[in-house]
Amino acid sequence: SYELTQPLSVSVALGQTARITCGGNNIGSENVHWYQQKPGQAPVLVIYRDSNRPSGIPERFSGSNSGNTATLTISRAQAGDEADYYCQVWDSSTVVFGGGTKVTVL
C-alpha cells in the first residue's frame, strides 16, 4: 500500500519560512492535499491539488509537488500557524494520510 512520510516536527522562527515535506513514491504524479489541525479542532483544508488555496486561506500558505516529495510552505510564520499538518493523497480508490508534522513557531 502507498505510504506518505512526514517529519514528526518542524520548528520555525516567527516571521520566517517553514517547509513541511511529504514523501511518497512518485508522489509528483498524484494530487496532494494538505490539512491544518489545531489542538481540539477539526482539520482544515489549506492546500488542495498540490498548490491551490481554498478561499479564506492566507497567501502565506503555498504548496508544490515534484518527484518523490510534496512540500507545504508557510511564509512569514505566525504564532497562529502552530498546528499539526497532514498531507493526503488518493491511491487506488483508497485514501492515504501522512503521519502528520507538528509545527512550532519559536
Partner 1 sequence: QVTLRESGPALVKPTQTLTLTCTFSGFSLSTSGMCVTWIRQPPGKALEWLALIDWDDDKYYSTSLKTRLTISKDTSKNQVVLTMTNMDPVDTATYSCARASPGSAFDIWGQGTMVTVSS
Instruction: By CB under 8 A, name the binding residues for partner 1.
Output: 1, 31, 33, 35, 37, 42-45, 48-49, 54, 86, 88, 90, 93-100
> Residue 92 has which C-alpha cell?
487506488
Report the nearest approach of partner 1 to the CB of residue 49 (Å): 7
d(CA 36, CA 43): 5
Pick from 16, 28, 29, 21: nearest CA to 5: 21
Question: Which is closer to partner 1, CB of 61 or CB of 86?
Answer: 86
Report the nearest approach of partner 1 to the CB of residue 75 (Å): 21
Report the nearest approach of partner 1 to the CB of residue 83 (Å): 13
Could you count the other beta carbons within 10 Å of the beta carbon of residue 77? 22
Cβ contacts of 92 within 8 Å, gap of 6 or more: 2
Question: Which is closer to partner 1, CB of 76 or CB of 82?
Answer: 82
